[in-house]
């Protein structure tokens, strides 16, 4: 059976070119970058060269790049670090209702510690309202954290405008760019970004490595304490092989970005046009080609469960998901789909297909061949099938989730 991978928003395969760059740092150039001898110097030189390359990719300064274990850690350092480090200025944070759990759960933690958090609404395409943001910024606000691109529906936020507003108000702006780094052009200076989170395995680099961009002068309270690595913001022996791999992966992604985006966008349009021929189906988020990641397709189907579609696609050798890989085992409806206005029942019928470098038009043909019959089969056995009044069931679901 040929296998088709359409879950690149969850993770991407390590590029063979990246692996080649990493290999010497596993067994040949294995020094600790903090050691003073030549093994350590060799490792540190490779690490700093990588830091320079990453900084260049987002128009930052090398000293503003902090290496972490990935996006979740970067998000936690940014949000908690700024919140705790600037308590004297205020204890108010603003975010959106469609953030990754690395942000939303962190904000919930802050609320338990006495911070006030405002959660911005989004429209049906997943975009925040700048006027609402401006209205919410009040006395004591120290941080705004709004993701660059959503991991479930691919919606791209007006980051440049958010950055401009925050700069005018004199507050820090953080963006979770885990899904957009390597896919969208990012310039932290032009976009007015003070903090940015990224993760290597989202752009064909290794897992377990990420970075936080923190603008020089940003006051951050460290979450861990130790040997003073990474300017004391993130202590711990640096993952040199991972750092080298992440830098190599980002360099390749930036070089190939425009060409790859155009190719993926073409495949996404083909996939959406074909899938929407299925009765009672729809696209969640912006239209393909609008303010949306080029590789993201999030579909909805009435009268079926997204998890069932994923399992049946898997049986056919097609890997997909219903949403964030961090929460797909959770029976709760997607908070992102709820935020854009979908009722509980419709949320459960979602399917996320995210394209990558290895996908071809033939892959899309296979999906479009298998998907209609899978949806039809599931509808035939579904208690929510067409013709059944689901309003009473939906009321029961709403009641259950409230209590």
- Tell whether residue 86 is among the known ligand binding residues: no
Whose CA is closest to 371, among 312, 328, 325?
A: 312
400 annotated to a ligand binding site: no
Angle between helices 71-85 and 101-112 (to 10 degrees): 30
* DSSP-derived 3-state class of residue 193: coil
Phi/psi-derived region of residue 231, left when phi > 0, alpha when psi is between -120 and 50, beta in every other case: left
- DSSP-derived letter for residue 239 is -
d(CA 261, CA 357): 10
Q: What pairs with residue 119 in β-bridges?
A: 95
Pairing of strands 141-145, 92-96: parallel
Structure tokens at 53: 């390359």
Q: Binding residue per annotation — 199?
A: yes
Closest CA to 312 of 386, 359, 388, 382: 382
Q: Residue written as tokens 């910024």?
A: 137
Q: How far apart are CA 270 and CA 274, in angstroms?
A: 6
Is 323 annotated in a binding site? The answer is no
Inter-CA distances, 52 with 33, 68, 191, 341, Å? 16, 16, 20, 43
Query: What angle (nearest 5°) sits at the alpha carbon of residue 232, between those of residues 81 and 99?
Result: 30
Residues tagged active-site: 326
Structure tokens at 193: 């970004």
**Cα–Cα distance for residue pair 154/285, rounded to 1 Å:** 7
Sign of the CA dihedral with 125 first, then 126, 129, and 130 last: negative
Q: Is 71 annotated as a binding residue?
A: yes
In the annotated binding site for [2Fe-2S] cluster, the residues are 326
In the annotated binding site for pyridoxal 5'-phosphate, the residues are 71-72, 151, 179, 199-201, 237
């Amino acid at each position: 059976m040929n296998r088709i991978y359409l879950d690149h928003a969850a993770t991407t395969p390590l590029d063979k070119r990246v692996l080649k760059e990493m290999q010497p740092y596993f067994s040949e150039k294995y020094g600790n970058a903090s050691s003073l001898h030549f093994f350590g110097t060799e490792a540190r030189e490779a690490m700093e060269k990588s830091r320079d390359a990453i900084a260049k990719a987002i128009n930052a300064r090398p000293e503003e790049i902090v290496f972490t274990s990935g996006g979740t850690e970067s998000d936690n350092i940014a949000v908690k670090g700024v919140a705790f480090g600037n308590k004297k200025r205020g204890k108010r944070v603003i975010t959106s209702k469609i953030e990754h759990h690395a942000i939303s759960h962190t904000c919930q933690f802050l609320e338990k510690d006495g911070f006030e958090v405002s959660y911005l609404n989004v429209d049906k395409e997943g975009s925040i309202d700048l006027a609402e943001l401006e209205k919410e910024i009040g006395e004591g606000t120290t941080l705004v954290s709004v993701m660059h691109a959503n991991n479930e529906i691919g919606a791209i936020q007006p980051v440049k405008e958010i950055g401009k507003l925050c700069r005018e108000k004199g507050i820090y702006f953080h963006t979770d760019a885990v899904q957009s780094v390597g896919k969208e052009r990012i310039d932290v200076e032009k976009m007015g970004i003070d903090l940015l989170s990224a993760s290597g395995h989202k752009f064909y680099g290794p897992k377990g490595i990420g970075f936080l961009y923190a603008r020089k002068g940003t006051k951050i309270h460290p979450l861990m304490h130790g040997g003073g690595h990474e300017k004391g913001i993130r202590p711990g022996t640096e993952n040199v092989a991972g750092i080298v791999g992440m830098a190599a992966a980002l360099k390749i992604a930036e070089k190939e970005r425009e060409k790859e985006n155009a190719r993926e966008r073409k495949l996404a349009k083909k996939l959406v046009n074909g899938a929407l021929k299925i009765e009672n189906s729809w696209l969640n988020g912006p239209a393909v080609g609008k303010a949306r990641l080029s590789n993201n397709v999030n579909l909805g189907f009435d009268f079926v469960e997204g998890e069932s579609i994923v399992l049946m696609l898997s049986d056919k050798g097609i890997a997909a998901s219903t949403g964030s890989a961090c929460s797909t085992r959770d029976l709760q409806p997607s908070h992102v789909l709820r935020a854009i206005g979908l009722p509980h029942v419709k949320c459960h019928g979602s399917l996320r297909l995210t394209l990558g470098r290895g996908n071809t038009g033939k892959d899309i043909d296979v999906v479009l061949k298998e998907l209609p019959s899978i949806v039809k089969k599931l509808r035939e056995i579904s208690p929510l099938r067409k013709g059944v009044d689901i309003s009473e069931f939906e009321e029961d679901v709403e009641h259950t989730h409230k209590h």
